Amino acid sequence: MSKFTVFFIIIGAFFIGIPSAVFGQEMTKKEENKEGVFRTVHLVNLNSVENEAEIVAILNDFNKVFAEVGYPNIRYNLWKERGDREGKYKYIFGSTWPDQATYDKVHKNEKFQAVFEKYKARWEELVNEDVYSRYVPLN
């Protein structure tokens, strides 16, 4: 057997036997994100452009709660479509969560619930459409 054949057999075994060493751990564990980081995104249409400032104020009240319960890096951010493209949704807002346990802890917190109840009816008056989605990273 030639040296090249032995070399390729060894390299092939290395790729097959230890893929995380070659490709990185992320490549071998993509589907194991059940309890890991995820992003929530709301596709939103407001009833009026004049409602932007009030929506930002509401989201900022939630951001204060996140900080008060120990998660200052979790924030709701509102984004507006810009430019000449005509998408169905003009706004998005969302946040990134380190795991489901943190998400549940924050959403069940009394302070979060109080802010939610305070603005629930007003939110429904301001927002024409709100589509919620959850995303997990692939890379």
Level-2 CATH architecture, domain 38-135 = 2-Layer Sandwich (3.30)
137, 34 contact by CB (below 8 A): no
Closest CA to 76 of 90, 96, 50: 96
- In the block, residue with structure tokens 């802890």: 105
Query: Please, what is the average pLDDT of the chain?
Result: 82
**For the residues 79-94, what does the mean pLDDT come to?**
87
- Name the pLDDT band for 86 (thresholds 50, 70, 90): confident
pLDDT tens digits for 27-47? 344 444 456 999 999 999 999
Q: How far apart are alpha carbons 24 and 18 in whole angstroms?
A: 10
Percentage of residues in the chain with pLDDT exceeding 70? 75
pLDDT tens digits for 101-123? 999 999 999 999 999 999 999 99
Q: How far apart are alpha carbons 127 and 72 in whole angstroms?
A: 26
pLDDT tens digits for 56-65? 999 999 999 9
- Name the pLDDT band for 85 (thresholds 50, 70, 90): confident
Q: What pLDDT is stored for residue 2 in this prediction? A: 58
Beta strands of the chain (E only): which ranges?
A: 38-46, 77-80, 91-97, 127-135
44 φ, ψ to 5°? -130, 140
13 pLDDT exceeds 90?
Answer: no
Sketch the domain layout of the chain as residue ranges. 1-30, 38-135
Q: What pLDDT is stored for residue 107 in this prediction? A: 96
